[in-house]
Structure 1
Amino acid sequence: MRTSIAAFRPFSIFCALLIVFGLVLTDAFGESAAVNGAEDAIPLRLKTGMVTQAEFPEKIADVTKSVSSDFLEVETLGNRMFLLPLKNFDSYLHVVTEDNISYCLHLIMDNVEAPTCIEIKKRTQSKEKVQGYGVMNTVELMKVLLKGEEPPGAAIAGSSGQEVFNNGVFRISTDKVYELGGGAKALVLRFENLMDKPIVLPIENIELPGLVAVSVDAQVLGPRPRTQAKNSSSSMTKAYMIIEPQDQ
C-alpha cells in the first residue's frame, strides 16, 4: 500500500512568520525575494531543460531559493552549483560560501543566450556583515543552532512554546528566538503535523527579507500519533533561520 504524502502551499507559513516576528514583505508577494540583496544581484540567464553550472570562489555552505523544485532543481558540489530550470520563472537565489560571503543571483529565463557555465567573481564582505553575529559567521552560527546551543552573546526574545500558527494541518510554535548583534535574529521554530498522514514542509520556498540561511531537522513529517501514549517525535521537527536586518 502506498502512503500518500500531503504537500501544502507555503503562503500560510510566510504569513505566520510575518505576523509573529514583525517582518514585512513587498506589496507583490511574489517579489518578496527581491528585497534581500537585489541591488547587488548577479544576473544569471537560464534555459528551460538545460543545466547551467555556476562556479564560486569558495565552497558553497548554504543555498536559499525562492521557487519550488517544480520550477528549479539545484545541486551543489564543492564550489560548484548546478541549476536545472523546469519551467519559466523570474526569481532570486541566495548563496553563502564557507568564507561567509553572500551572493544574490537574479535568475532570468533566456532560451536563446543562456550560458552553460558561469564563473562568479569573489566579492568583499562588509565589516558590518562580518561583525553582525559578534565573533561568529553564518555557517558557525547555524552549526550552533543545530546543536541546540545558545549563540555566544545572544539575548533570548519572546517566550518558548508560544503557538504562532495552526490551520488544522500543521502547528508552528516558538522554541527559541535570539536577538543577535547588529539587529540580526536567529529563530528556532517547532513544526508539528496535525494530520493522519505524512506531510512535506516546503522549507525551500520560504522567502523573507533578510533571510540568509535556513535549515530543518526533517522535511517530511510523519502522521500524528493515534494516541497520546505513542511516541510523536516523527510528527515534529525544528526549523532554524538566520535573518539579517534590512537597510532602511
Structure 2
Amino acid sequence: MTFSICVHEAYTDSDGTDQHRFGVAVTTRLPGVGALCPFASEHGAIATQALTNVELGRAGTSYLADGLAINDALQALLNADDGRTQRQLHGVDADGTFAFTGDDCHDWAGHRTGADFTVAGNLLTGESVVDAVATSYEKSGRDDPLAKRLIDALGAGHAEGGDKRDDLTVQSAAVVVATTEDREMDPYYNDLRVDATETPLRDLRETFALAREGYEAAIEKYADA
C-alpha cells in the first residue's frame, strides 16, 4: 500500500517540560488506508503496508506501551509472521527507528531511515518518491504543526510520481499525531482521514486547514471555560 512516513520529535512545552510527539502519514491508490495502516500513540508511530497485516500495527503499539524498544517490538512481530516477505513495516519511538521491506513486495519497493524518521513505499514509480518524502520532512522546520508537515511530505512524494497504479482512481490518505503532553483539548487536526476520493492529498490538506481553523475557534470561544 503505497507510501508513508513515521516521525519522532522531542520538544519543550509551554511549561518548560520535555515532551515527545510521534506522527505517521500515509496515502494509497485504494480506499480506507487510514483504517489499516497508520498507528500512533504517546509511545511511538508505526506504519504497516504492502500486503497489510493490521495486527502488526496494533500489537506493535501495545508492545511499545509495555516498554519494548521499536526495533525489538517490530522484529519480534515479523519473526512470528509467516507472510513477512510480503510485508512492509516501519516506525519510530523516542530512542530509535525500524524499517523493513519484504523481498516479495512489488517494485518499486523500499525504505529510507533518518535519525528520527522512517519512510517506506511499494508499487511506486521509483526510489525518488521516498527520497522526496524524506527531503520534504527534513527541510520543513517546526513552525507548522507536525500533521501539516507530514501531509506536505506526502505531497512531495506524490509530485515525484507516487503510486504507479494510474488505473486505480479511488484513493485515500490519513495522518495521525500523538504526544506525551497532557492537554485538556487535543488539536482536532491531529487525527484525520480521507477515505475515498480521487484527490486524497488535496482533500487531506483542505481537511487539515478546516480542522485547524475549528480548533483555534474553539480555543478562543471556550478559553475561560
TM-score normalised by the chain length of structure 2: 0.28
Q: Counting strand residues as a fraction of each chain, which structure ranks higher?
A: 1
Q: Relative contact order (C-alpha < 8 Å, sep 6+): which is higher?
A: 2
Q: Counting helix residues as a fraction of each chain, which structure ranks higher?
A: 2
